Chains A and B, each alone.
Chain A
Amino acid sequence: MIWEVFRQEKTGQYHTHCGNVHASDREMAKQFAAIQHGRRKPTNSLWVVPREEIGEIDSEDVAFGGTTDKSYRWATAYNTTGRDASEVVESEDEQATAERQRGDD
C-alpha cells in the first residue's frame, strides 16, 4: 500500500508533498516517513495519506479557469490612479507575478 507524504518545515506553513512510502498500515507509514522524508530536511510535521484516498481532477477532465477571457479577474487589467484604489497599486507586483506563474495555456 502506498502512502503519500507531505512535509511541513515550520509550524503554520503548508504541508507540501515530498514523496511516498510503502507500508501495510498507517502506523508503519508514519514511522517509515519519519526516516525517509523527515531525517535530512528541516521538518516540523509530516502527514501520511493513503494514495487511494486522494481525489484527483486534472486538465484533461476540466478546463481550469474556464475557456473564455476572464482578464477582469486580474487587478492588473485595470488602470488606477493610485488615489482611488491604493491597495491595488500596492499589490500590483504581487498580482503580476501571480499572473505569470499561472501560465497562459
Chain B
Amino acid sequence: MAASLENPDELDERERTALKTLLKRLADDEFVLAERYTEWQVRAPSLESDLALANNAQDELGHARLWYDVLGDVGLEERDLVYERDPGDFRHSTLVELPFEEGDWADAVLRSYLYDVAEDLRLEALVDSTHPKIADRVGKIRSEEEYHLEHAQNWLERLADGGEGRERLQDALDRLFPYAFTLFEPCAPPRGANEASGDEPRAVDPDVEDDIVDLGLRDATLEEMGEEWLSIVVPYLESLDLELPVDGRADDGADEFEFEVTEAMLPEERGRDGTHTDAWFDLYDEFTHTYRELERTETTRIMDKPE
C-alpha cells in the first residue's frame, strides 16, 4: 500500500502523472456530460423531467469542480482546465460528448444509465484512495449520484414498457453502447508528461493506468470495473427486453457472467486517448464562446472552496 499522497510538493513525476490522469478522467466526464444535459433545459418532455435533469447537470458540474479543484494542487487552474484548454487534451469518454438528436429523450435516459452505473463503480473504487482529498470528496458525490441512477432506471423501465418508447431506447442502445465501452479505456498521459511521445493522438500509456492502482489512488483496475459494469448493465438491459448491438456473451454455459469486449466493438474515437468526435469540438467552441467573446483572461469564482 502506498503512502498518503497528500502533499503535492512531495509527489514525484510518476505520482503526479497518475494523479492528473485519474482526475482528468473523472472531472472531464462530469463536466462534459453536464454540458450536454444542459441542452435539455426547457426542452425535456415535462417541466418535472426538465428540472430533474437540470438538477443532475448541476450535480455533475459540482462534482467536476471538486475534481478540478484537486488538480489545482498540482498547478492546474480552472482557466487552464476548461476555458483555455486544448480541446484535444480533454480525457472524457466519447459517450458523454455525443450530441442529442432533437427530442431524443430515450438517448438522454439511457446515456445517463450507462454512465451512472460506471460512475457508481468508480466512486466505490475511490472510497479508500491514498489521496485524502479524493477519499474525502467521494462520499459527498456518491449520495447525489444515487438519485441520478434511480432517475435513469425509473425512466428506462417506463420507456421500455412498450411501443415507441422501447423502439427509441433500442435505437439509442445501438448507437450508444459501443461508446460506453470507452468509459473503461486507458488514458493517454496528460500534456506535459512524457513529452517525448508528442505524436497526435498521444500514445496510450498503460503504465499510467497501472500506476493509478499501484499507488492506491483507486483500488480497482479499468478491466475489473469494466467487467463489473457489464455484469450489471447487460442483464438489466436484457431484462427490459432490449437487444445488445454487439454479442460478447460467452456461450460456454458458465454460471459466471462473461462478456468479452473486443477491439472491433469499440468506436474509433475513444476520448481517453485524446481522439474525439467532431461534435466535441463544436461543443467546446460553444461553452468557451462567451469567455472568448468577452476577452476574459481568468474565470469568475463565486465560492472560495468548492464544497
A residues contacting B by CB (< 8 A) are: 21-24, 27-28, 31-32, 34-36, 39
| Interface bits B112-141 vs A (CB < 8 Å: 1, else 0) | 000000000000000000000000000000
Q: A31 to B55, Cβ gap below 8 A?
A: no
Which residues does chain B contribute within 8 Å of A34, judged by CB atoms? 147
Summarize A's interface: helix, strand, loop or mixed.
helix
Q: A35 to B158, Cβ gap below 8 A?
A: no
Q: A35 to B55, Cβ gap below 8 A?
A: yes
CB distance from B78 to the nearest CB of A (A): 25
B residues contacting A by CB (< 8 A) are: 46-49, 51-52, 55, 147, 150-151, 154, 158
Which residues does chain B contribute within 8 Å of A35, judged by CB atoms? 48, 51-52, 55
Q: B51 to A31, Cβ gap below 8 A?
A: no
Q: A28 to B47, Cβ gap below 8 A?
A: no
Q: B46 to A22, Cβ gap below 8 A?
A: yes
Docked CA distance A22–B151 (Å): 15
Which residues does chain A contribute within 8 Å of B48, judged by CB atoms? 21-23, 28, 32, 35-36
Summarize B's interface: helix, strand, loop or mixed.
helix
Q: A22-B46, A22-B47, A22-B48 are in contact. Are A28 and B154 (CB under 8 A)?
A: yes
Q: B158 to A24, Cβ gap below 8 A?
A: yes
Docked CA distance A39–B52 (Å): 11
Docked CA distance A27–B48 (Å): 13
Q: A22-B46, A22-B47 are in contact. Are A32 and B158 (CB under 8 A)?
A: no
Q: A22-B46, A22-B48 are in contact. Are A31 and B158 (CB under 8 A)?
A: no
From B53, which residue of chain A is reached at the shortest CB distance? A35
Which 4 A/B pairs are nearest by Cβ-Cβ distance?
A32-B48, A35-B55, A35-B52, A21-B48
CB distance from B54 to the nearest CB of A (A): 9
Which residues does chain A contribute within 8 Å of B151, judged by CB atoms? 31
Q: B150 to A31, Cβ gap below 8 A?
A: yes
From A33, which residue of chain B is reached at the shortest CB distance? B48
CB distance from A3 to the nearest CB of B (A): 10
From A39, which residue of chain B is reached at the shortest CB distance? B55
Docked CA distance A36–B150 (Å): 16
Q: A36 to B147, Cβ gap below 8 A?
A: no
Q: B46 to A31, Cβ gap below 8 A?
A: no
**Residue among A24, A27, A31 making CB contact with B52, cutoff 8 Å:** A31
Q: A27 to B51, Cβ gap below 8 A?
A: no
From B150, which residue of chain A is reached at the shortest CB distance? A31
